[in-house]
Amino acid sequence: MTPETYISSFDLNQITTKRASLTFEEAIAVWLMRWNGDTIQIIAARFGTNQGRVADVLTEKEHAGSKAAAFSLRSG
């Protein structure tokens, strides 16, 4: 069995989007998803980025103000 055949024997999720970074608008969505109970791993997978980029948002290292914007959006 070749490595390709072995790997293809599993039901893997398709990765349709890959991002090296997140926009401010995506950072707002990260906050909303986190508050909704999604884990960092799931958020990263859904955005097609790595967990570090999501953590940068959630620790407010990147996209300052996105938490406040998400809170405002959430509060209606």
> Do residues 67 and 60 touch, judged by C-beta distance below 8 A?
yes
Which among 55, 63, 52, 74 has a CA at the least distance from the CA of 26?
63
- Kindly give the confidence (pLDDT) of every residue in the chain, 76 residues in length, as a single tens digit, with 9 standing for 90 and above: 899 999 999 999 888 999 999 999 999 999 999 999 999 999 999 999 999 999 999 999 999 999 999 999 999 8
Each domain of the chain, given as residue ranges in start order, spans 15-75
- pTM comes to 0.87
